Amino acid sequence: MRKRSLYSVFIAAIVAVGAFSIYAWHPSMAPITPPVKDQFAADVIAQGKVLAAAGYCSTCHTTPGGSPYAGNYEMHTDFGIIYSSNITPDVQTGIGNWSEEAFIRAMRTGVSRDGHHLLPAFPYEHFNKMTDEDIKAVYAYIMSSVPAVSQQKIDNGIPFPLNIRFLQSGWKLLFADTTPFKPQADESAEWNRGAYLAQGVAHCGACHTPRNALGGEKRDQMYSGAAIDGWIAPSLTTSSKAPLKWRAADFDEYLRTGNSSFHGSAAGPMAPVVHAGLSALSDSDLKAISVYFGALAGNHNDNPASSPALKAALESQQLPDPRIDNGARLYAISCQSCHYSSNELNKGRPLLALGSALHLDDPTNLINVTLDGFRANQGITGVVMPAFRDALSDEDITAIATYLRQSAGEQPWPNLKQKVAEIRLQPRFEH
Ligand code: HEC
Ligand code: HEC
Ligand code: HEC
């Protein structure tokens, strides 16, 4: 009897493995002769160029200073280092011999032309929400307009057994959301356009949605904030810690200019999202994305100028006695010349107490900005903040951050000094 049941477990296991293999297996798709430019209509290529920008393809597929789209951009994940692929139309090392069908399959299901599974560091779960027409436009743009570059992909530094590509299909089965975009009938056309762009090509959730231990997005906590590339992508929903509620108008200003007067500026990985990505979209598309997030953040529309939170933030800029508070003294020396106290907002000089960096549970964003400042292509274009990496010690930054946190009315961050020391030693990535 016992033997029999063991036997049936064994058979069941074989059937399950067999069924899984059939599910997991994807055929190779035949290589094609590279398409020529005249095959594509000019307006389709132009549309593809906009969508490729809005999907940050070149941010992830180009190394700093390297050839556009030639890959090997390093992504540091909890599972190891992942290198992006060469997606220039080079036949040997790129996607030059990929048919449109093979490209659509990769964008929708994360399967390469030869049938191997791709890692979700490539956000196919979001690109899957794009229409066929939009994916074909991206294909037309890449095949017709990106110069072919020969560059072999570096093997990912992912340890065994996670590096077994076949297992990715199990991951997909468990976590991937490959359902198409569903417009919501009870929302406006503008909201739906914004949702389509945000969930699909612009994949805001890939950074702003928290992930489970195996890297799957927690879809019941969409956009509620997550750690990404050594930064914190703050919550964009009603759980946002920003003292002033984000309104659709604030999202619109931030996504168009890299700064919201009532919140702050886009640093780190958010800077290229704004300046290398969303800037290609039309004003009406950006407005649609803002309407969508304005709704997710609670549809606030109060005038922030008369809000008590703004008054409190302006008052918080009044310094305690710098003779007794070392953090206040260092702030006065190093920061206040730009982030000065005043009774009004100054565009381009963010009122720090309003920025989420001071209000998040994690001090990472404040430490990052203090260490590395803002380059001209981050935040407001052309406006810079110096890097204090070489000027301020870990103790100094800890004192300033403690002072700022306290003046913003928040509890002190635990283990702050250790955190500053750790972040200082982290490798920096170009964003
Ligand atoms: C967040 C980073 C990221 C973004 C954004 C991104 N990719 Fe990728 N992509 C990757 C990584 C990493 C891989 C390789 C994954 C692997 O090794 O399994 C990849 C692989 C691919 C592949 C498979 C190539 C092959 O040879 O198998 C295609 C096609 C592709 N990306 C196209 C695009 C397009 C088109 C866009 C923009 C619409 C884009 N990617 C945006 C990270 C990204
Ligand atoms: C590559 C990762 C990434 C992607 C993709 C991304 N974000 Fe961000 N986002 C971040 C990070 C990191 C920050 C924090 C930057 C900072 O502190 O300056 C941020 C900050 C923001 C903020 C400011 C929030 C606050 O309270 O300060 C807004 C608003 C925002 N993102 C909206 C979006 C929208 C809308 C999209 C999609 C169109 C998007 N993000 C896509 C990483 C990302
Ligand atoms: C020379 C002027 C200058 C100095 C000095 C300066 N900053 Fe800044 N800071 C800026 C500017 C300008 C921005 C916005 C950059 C942009 O949008 O391009 C900024 C942005 C920030 C932000 C992001 C605000 C947000 O929420 O988006 C933080 C945090 C910050 N500064 C902290 C500091 C700290 C801490 C110091 C002192 C150690 C300091 N700054 C010194 C000019 C300065």
* Number of domains, the chain: 3
For residue 401, being part of any structural domain is answered with yes
CB of residue 48 inside a 6 A radius of ligand 2? no
Confidence of residue 235 (pLDDT cuts 50, 70, 90): very high
Bridge partners, residue 217, by sequence: 211
Domain of residue 230: give its range. 189-296
For residue 84, being part of any structural domain is answered with yes
For residue 184, being part of any structural domain is answered with no
Query: Which residue's CA lies nearest to atom 39 of ligand 1?
Result: 57
* From 28, 56, 60, mutation site for ligand 1 pocket: most ligand atoms within 8 A of C-beta: 60
The atom number, within ligand 3, closest to the CA of 263 reads 26
pTM over 0.85: yes
CA distance 108 to 125: 7
For residue 90, being part of any structural domain is answered with yes
Q: Which of 145, 175, 205 is the last residue of a domain?
A: 175
For residue 7, being part of any structural domain is answered with no
Q: Which ligand is nearest to the CA of 152?
A: 1
Can you give the CATH number for the domain in which 239 is found?
Answer: 1.10.760
89 and 135 both lie in a single domain:
yes
Q: Which of 241, 274, 296 is the last residue of a domain?
A: 296
Distant-in-sequence, close-in-space partners of 62: CB < 8 Å, separation ≥ 6: 68, 69, 70, 71, 73
333 and 407 both lie in a single domain:
yes
CB of residue 295 inside a 6 A radius of ligand 2? no
CB of residue 431 inside a 6 A radius of ligand 2? no
Summarize pLDDT for 155-166 with one digit per residue, the tens: 999 888 888 888
389-408 as b/e, with b when 16 or more CB fall inside 10 Å? eeebebebbbbbbbbbbbbb
* From 49, 81, 122, mutation site for ligand 1 pocket: most ligand atoms within 8 A of C-beta: 122
CA distance 417 to 400: 11
Average pLDDT over residues 391-411: 96
- Tokens 């060469």 label which residue? 86
91 and 55 both lie in a single domain:
yes
CA distance 184 to 181: 10
Summarize pLDDT for 265-305 with one digit per residue, the tens: 999 999 999 999 999 999 999 999 999 999 999 999 989 98
137 and 255 both lie in a single domain:
no
Over pLDDT 90: what percentage of the chain?
74
CA distance 231 to 367: 10
Q: Which ligand is nearest to the CA of 280?
A: 2
Query: Which residue's CA lies nearest to atom 41 of ligand 1?
Result: 57
**Do the Cβ atoms of 205 and 223 come closer than 8 Å?**
yes
For residue 87, being part of any structural domain is answered with yes
161 and 212 both lie in a single domain:
no
For residue 384, being part of any structural domain is answered with yes
278 and 313 both lie in a single domain:
no
For residue 9, being part of any structural domain is answered with no
Summarize pLDDT for 31-45 with one digit per residue, the tens: 999 998 899 999 999
Summarize pLDDT for 49-58 with one digit per residue, the tens: 999 999 999 9
Q: Which of 245, 274, 296 is the last residue of a domain?
A: 296
- Of the candidates 290, 303, 292, 299, the one whose C-alpha atom is nearest the C-alpha of residue 262 is 303
